[in-house]
């Protein structure tokens, strides 16, 4: 076996170990969505007895609390830990994920479960951000998108296997059983990361104040907005997938795990497709992907009355949505300049702004009586706005580049008077 083959093998073991952690995060983030009716019945019995719609909408705030934890924790934790060795940071983050998710199944009432969901979200973004940096360095610059897609693939596979399995388990044994499995996954991830992720130094010269300089970069804000608003389309539908299946299509509850498996398959395919396309062009993948998401979101709404067409539409919608995950990650790494730790973590702040926004708006249109199909139209609208922001961001970047080139032209002309050489920019 050659040294390059060995090196590739070491890198793959490290990435797959990180993907197990991603699997746990994907399961803890998304399994609540398939268990919303059970969460509402168990934690809000009085509200559910009076109005199931209000109880389900209120239970949806558990999703938003997790997302809020990600938004708060991603830049804060990533900024503080940027100076420390990355493999040690990853171990600490997995321990935190294990402990906080154990609190979720131990807490006795809605308020304490909500607090545990917020805490569980705090390490999420920093874990993915540091993992993305480790992955990109292990695979090299030409394959950054593919490497990040392997790590993020754990999250996608969670949607294919972990979330449906956890949903089925939660329906059979109660929602708390699903979070027992989540805690076990993090135990496995901890062992594998300690064993297989190689040592990588941090940036010892960086300070938290220096890292916060990323927020002075306009393109960072625009990219966060693209991910937050555009990917909010996914969560507007996915947060209420159980009610799409049981209420809009009139299917029995056992169909929900099947729908979740199909959506998970779409996420897996879309994640790896997005990574490959992002290696070719981040810009085109983002723009075309978001405008395709408008169409597929509307398709879910149009086909939601019939079970089989709805499930097919959900697969296409999930595939289109997932292409944004590695693409937004790469875009943030590209525009973050020297602030890689926070830049990589902000992807998950962006996506969980989308989580919170999509879940909140989807719940609002249900609670106001617009019907269980209404979140699909919210999804199409959010994707359209996200696509418009992407166009504006790339247009602004192009204008800034043109201005810099025009500013350099007199200098190049002065340097080349009387010569036949053409300067290289």
Q: Which domain CATH number covers 252? A: 1.20.1250.20
Rounded to 5°, the CA angle 44-48-51 comes to: 140
Task: Give the per-residue pLDDT at 33.
Answer: 74
Mean pLDDT, residues 256-269: 85
Please tell me the number of Cα atoms within 13 Å of 116 on its side-chain side: 21
CA 307 to chain centre: 27
Q: Is residue 18 in some structural domain?
A: yes
| pLDDT grade for 239, boundaries at 50, 70 and 90 | confident
Ordered alpha helix ranges (H), 174-281: 175-196, 208-211, 218-225, 232-238, 241-243, 255-280
Whole-number pLDDT of residue 3 = 40
Average pLDDT over residues 23-27: 92
Range of the domain at 43: 11-400
| pLDDT attached to residue 422 | 36
pLDDT score, position 31: 87
pLDDT of amino acid 127:
92
Question: Token pair for residue 169?
Answer: 């388990």
Q: Can you give the pLDDT at residue 350?
A: 81
Does 235 fall in a domain?
yes
The secondary element (H helix, E strand) that includes residue 327 is helix 324-335
The single residue listed with the structure tokens 């609002």 is 364
Dist. CA 252–CA 278, nearest whole Å: 39
What is the per-residue pLDDT for 202? Answer: 72
10 Å CB burial of residue 99 (0-12, 13-18, 19+) is middle
pLDDT for 212-235, tens place per residue? 788 888 888 998 889 889 888 998
The mean pLDDT value of the chain amounts to 83
What is the tally of structural domains in the chain?
A: 1
Question: Encoding tokens for residue 24?
Answer: 């746990």
- Is 185:20 a contact under the CB 8 Å cutoff? yes
How many Å apart are CA 38 and CA 59, to the nearest integer? Answer: 9
pTM of the model: 0.74
Indicate whether 386 pLDDT > 50: yes
Whether residue 369 is contained in a domain is answered as yes
Q: What is the pLDDT of residue 330?
A: 80
Asked whether residue 419 is assigned to any structural domain, the reply reads: no
Q: Which class for 52: exposed (0-12), middle (13-18), buried (19 or more C-beta within 10 A)?
A: middle
For residue 267, is it within any domain? yes
- Spatial separation of the C-alpha atoms in residues 62 and 39, rounded to whole Å: 9
Does residue 362 lie in a domain region?
A: yes
Give the pLDDT band (50/70/90) at residue 419: very low
Lowest-confidence range among 200-204, 255-259, 355-359, 417-421?
417-421
Q: What is the pLDDT of residue 141?
A: 66
Give the model's pLDDT for residue 4.
45
Q: What pLDDT is stored for residue 53 in this prediction?
A: 75
Domain assignment present for 410: no
pLDDT at 57 over 80: no
Cα separation, 302 vs 300, whole angstroms: 6
Which percentage of the chain shows pLDDT scores above 70? 93
Report CA torsion sign: 247, 250, 253, 254. Answer: negative
Grouping H, G, I as helix, E, B as strand and the rest as coil, residue 339 is coil
């Amino acid at each position: 076996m050659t040294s390059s083959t060995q090196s590739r093998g070491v890198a793959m073991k490290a990435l797959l170990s990180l993907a197990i952690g991603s699997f746990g995060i994907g399961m803890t983030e998304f399994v609540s969505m398939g268990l919303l009716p059970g969460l509402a019945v168990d934690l809000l019995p009085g509200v559910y007895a009076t109005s199931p719609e209000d109880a389900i909408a209120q239970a949806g705030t558990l999703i938003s609390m997790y997302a809020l934890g990600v938004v708060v924790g991603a830049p804060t934790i990533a900024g503080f830990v940027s100076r420390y060795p990355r493999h040690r940071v990853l171990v600490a983050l997995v321990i935190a994920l294990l402990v906080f998710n154990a609190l979720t199944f131990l807490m006795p009432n809605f308020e304490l479960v909500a607090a545990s969901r917020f805490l569980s979200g705090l390490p999420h973004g920093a874990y993915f951000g540091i993992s993305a940096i480790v992955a990109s360095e292990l695979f090299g610059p030409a394959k950054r998108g593919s490497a990040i897609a392997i790590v993020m693939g754990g999250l996608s596979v969670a949607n294919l296997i972990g979330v449906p399995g956890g949903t089925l388990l939660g329906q059979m044994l109660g929602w708390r059983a699903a979070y027992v499995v989540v805690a076990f996954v993090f135990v496995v991830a901890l062992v594998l990361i300690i064993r297989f992720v190689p040592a990588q130094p941090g940036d010892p010269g960086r300070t938290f104040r220096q890292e916060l300089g990323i927020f002075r970069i306009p393109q960072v804000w625009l990219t966060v907005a693209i991910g937050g608003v555009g990917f909010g389309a996914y969560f507007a539908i996915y947060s209420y997938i159980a009610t799409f299946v049981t209420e809009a299509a009139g299917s029995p509850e056992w169909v929900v795990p099947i729908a979740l498996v199909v959506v998970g398959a779409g996420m897996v395919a879309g994640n790896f497709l997005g990574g490959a396309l992002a290696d070719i062009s981040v810009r085109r993948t983002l723009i075309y992907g978001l405008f395709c998401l408008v169409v597929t979101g509307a398709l879910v709404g149009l086909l939601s009355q019939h079970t089989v067409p709805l499930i097919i539409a959900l697969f296409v919608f999930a595939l289109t949505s997932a292409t944004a995950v590695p693409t937004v990650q790469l875009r943030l790494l590209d525009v973050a300049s020297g602030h890689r730790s926070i830049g990589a973590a902000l992807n998950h702040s962006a996506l969980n702004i989308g989580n919170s926004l999509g879940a909140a708006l989807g719940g609002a249109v249900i609670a106001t009586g617009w019907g269980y199909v209404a979140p699909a139209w919210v999804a199409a609208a959010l994707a359209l706005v996200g696509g418009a922001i992407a166009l504006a961001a790339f247009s602004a970047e192009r204008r800034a580049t043109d201005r810099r080139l025009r500013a350099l032209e007199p200098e190049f002309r002065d340097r080349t008077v009387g010569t036949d050489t053409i300067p290289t920019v």
